[in-house]
Structure 1
Amino acid sequence: MFLLVTWAYSYSRLTLGICKSSRHLVGKVVIVTGGNAGIGYETAKDLADRGARVIIACRNEVRGISARDSIIKATGNNDVHYRNLDLASLKSVKKFADDFLKTENRLHILINNAGVFASDNVKTEDGLLLGTQVNHFGPFLLTSLLLPLLKSSAPSRIINVSSIAYAKCEMDLQNLNAEKENEKSYQKINLYGMSKLCNILMAVELSHRLKDTGVTANSLHPGLVRTDILYDINVFGFQLILPLVKLFTKSAWEGAQTSIYLAVSPEVDDISGKYFVDCRVKKTVKRNGYDLELAHKLWELSEKYVGLKVDHL
């Protein structure tokens, strides 16, 4: 057992992806949703350190302002800002996008990082499943509304933070909003996995729609990161083995590396519609993650859920 654990630990360290690009971002504008904590914070800090104008978009004003001030202090970059965004409210998403478009004339990197893990079976003010709205419908609407600015600012990049949990889900486009589930049979892990597969499929569809525009879209799995989410996982006795699991987890800085890589690396300048793990593209993706037809159907369905028809694509 000791040798097995030692081998597994060594393997996890040897395969750890680290962004090695030193590209600066002076003159670039970046949005990081959920940039107030965890891998979002580490991502925002790294990009600010490269000279970017960074917008931290999150719902908690106190935490957002604290993160902003901490990043400014750590990097010496005063061009870091907090703006309120609650992905569980389509009204908030629309207001954020409207305010951003009125006050900013460029957007080079949009990182859809914010998310919620396996939420309960509750609906938002918009009648959408909380977890699916925060993880997919909210980011979908935000990205759609900001696409004109991303295109006019090209070359630009869209980055969706997904999860390996997508591989364990049973995808059902007719159950994105838990239409087929009742309180007793509600399978939060499966629906969480579906929302993360949506992140991958959204990038696939965007890569098709944005071909030859100079805008790329990719998704990623950050790895199992030592954040508060670990303590929210309560399946198959996970909490009992958590001390052992922690040996193989990443720090928030390590978990942010693939997001940073996709944001700055010249190696992915012309790559779009792909799913990355540890700064490396995955050639094959489970659950039809690279299926163009499935991605297109999801896009059209998502437009209906958020009440949006994107005519500029």
Structure 2
Amino acid sequence: MLIFLLSSSGHKPHLNMNLLLFLFVFLGGNSGVGKDTAVSMAMRGARVIIACRDLDKAEKAVREIKFKSHSLNVFHMELDLANLRSVREFCKNFIQREKRLDILINNAAMPGVLDCTDDNFSMCFGVNHLGHFLLTNLLLPRLRECAPSRVVTLTCSSYKYQKLDFQDLNYNLLPFFTYCRSKLANIYFSQELARITEGKGVTSYAVHPGFVQSSWTCHYSVLFRMLMQVIMWMFFVSSEIGAQTVIYCAVSDEAAKHSGGYFVDCRPATLRPFARDAGVAKKLWEASERLVKLV
């Protein structure tokens, strides 16, 4: 099926859109930036596939997205980013089932929790970086076949509070710092992906959606959840607002000129100097290849 996405500039990019979108599956798959992005993409005519480990939440999200977007072209597939075998199985099934992949939005995330994935990586590093890293690499041939295509990876401005330690990439001691490192890894990943795919029709963007009201506090105590609900209500933006920069990088003609860029509020933003180090980005890519056994 030939489907067009309407860009924010009002032009129709000539892309046959099959949008693979990751909801915040670990933070409540039926809400958040992911669902609002999916609604917007479905309204633009995209075929939307959400990937989620909780099939009940995925089915509920699909129903809600269909209802809000007035589109029946929304589907889900099972995927657990905390399990690399699940990532490989998902990619195998996806490639067998789907002939196109035009936009991949890496939106799943874990907050800072002291827990481990099924492959014994810290949950933050394993899900937020390694899961997306393996998935994107396995789907990269299909993205290249469908060029021009895009990869949008969500990150957070909290990247600025930590640097990577290559002696301990799997850092899992202080939850907030663990989260910050995983978000910095997302930025390096997006930059190196842009370098690797330069001239091959695939562009890459890192997006900070802002501090968004969501259900990420479900992993913490009741008292902490109550406190954060008040803070989020007072200072955080809605998920609909948070989704706008993700949507912009997915469909805007202007964004296409800034592959490897970091976006905030629908415009390129300046990173701290250490987060623009191409040598570190390449080193992380090579280390990640070894960790997920791509080499």
Q: What TM-score, normalized to structure 1?
A: 0.84
Matched position secondary structure for 1:226: coil
Match in the other structure for 2:4: none
Matched, 1:220 2:207: yes
Shift of 1:23: 5.2
> Given the superposition, is the C-alpha separation of residues 207 and 216 from structure 1 closer, same or farther in structure 2, using an over 3 Å criterion?
same
Match in the other structure for 1:138: 131
Work out which of the residue numbers 202, 211, 215 in structure 1 matches 2:198.
211
Larger Rg belongs to: 1
The answer as to whether partners of 1:27 and 1:53 remain within 8 angstroms in 2 is no
Shift of 1:27: 3.5
> Given the superposition, is the C-alpha separation of residues 243 and 287 from structure 1 closer, same or farther in structure 2, using an over 3 Å criterion?
farther
C-alpha distance in structure 2 between counterparts of 1:211 and 1:157, whole Å? 12
Root-mean-square deviation (CA, aligned residues, Å) is 2.1
**Which string of whole-angstrom CA distances, capped at 9 and with x for unpartnered residues, describes residues 240-294 of structure 1?**
5863553221101001111000001111123211111111111x31262121100
> Given the superposition, is the C-alpha separation of residues 240 and 40 from structure 1 closer, same or farther in structure 2, using an over 3 Å criterion?
closer
The answer as to whether partners of 2:163 and 2:184 remain within 8 angstroms in 1 is no
Matched position secondary structure for 1:138: helix
Work out which of the residue numbers 65, 85, 90 in structure 2 matches 1:71.
65
The 10-residue stretch of structure 1 (253-262 or 265-274) with the greater mean CA deviation from structure 2: 265-274
Shift of 1:229: 2.3
Structure 1 segment 48-197 matched on structure 2, within 5 A: 48-120=42-114, 122-178=115-171, 186-197=173-184
Shift of 1:104: 1.1
**Which string of whole-angstrom CA distances, capped at 9 and with x for unpartnered residues, describes residues 161-213 of structure 1?**
001111111321221212xx6xxxx1111111010001100011011100101
Matched position secondary structure for 1:270: helix
Q: What TM-score, normalized to structure 2?
A: 0.89
C-alpha distance in structure 1 between counterparts of 2:69 and 2:225, whole Å? 37
**Which string of whole-angstrom CA distances, capped at 9 and with x for unpartnered residues, describes residues 131-152 of structure 1?**
2111000000000000000001
Matched position secondary structure for 2:21: strand
Matched, 1:27 2:16: yes
C-alpha distance in structure 1 between counterparts of 2:253 and 2:266, whole Å? 12
The answer as to whether partners of 1:42 and 1:256 remain within 8 angstroms in 2 is yes
Match in the other structure for 1:9: none
The answer as to whether partners of 1:167 and 1:287 remain within 8 angstroms in 2 is no
Equivalent pairs counted in the alignment come to 281
C-alpha distance in structure 2 between counterparts of 1:48 and 1:22, whole Å? 17
Q: Give, as a single letter, the amino acid of the residue that structure 2 aligns with 1:46.
A: S
Work out which of the residue numbers 175, 181, 201 in structure 1 matches 2:188.
201
The 10-residue stretch of structure 1 (166-175 or 107-116) with the greater mean CA deviation from structure 2: 166-175
Unaligned runs of at least 5 residues, structure 2: 1-6
> Given the superposition, is the C-alpha separation of residues 88 and 278 from structure 1 closer, same or farther in structure 2, using an over 3 Å criterion?
same
Q: Give, as a single letter, the amino acid of the residue that structure 2 aligns with 1:32.
A: L
C-alpha distance in structure 2 between counterparts of 1:24 and 1:148, whole Å? 25
The answer as to whether partners of 1:23 and 1:264 remain within 8 angstroms in 2 is no
Q: Give, as a single letter, the amino acid of the residue that structure 2 aligns with 1:147.
A: L
Matched position secondary structure for 2:72: coil
Matched, 1:300 2:286: yes
Structure 1 segment 37-56 matched on structure 2, within 5 A: 37-56=31-50
C-alpha distance in structure 1 between counterparts of 2:67 and 2:227, whole Å? 39
Q: Give, as a single letter, the amino acid of the residue that structure 2 aligns with 1:218.
A: Y
Matched, 1:274 2:261: yes
The answer as to whether partners of 2:80 and 2:87 remain within 8 angstroms in 1 is yes
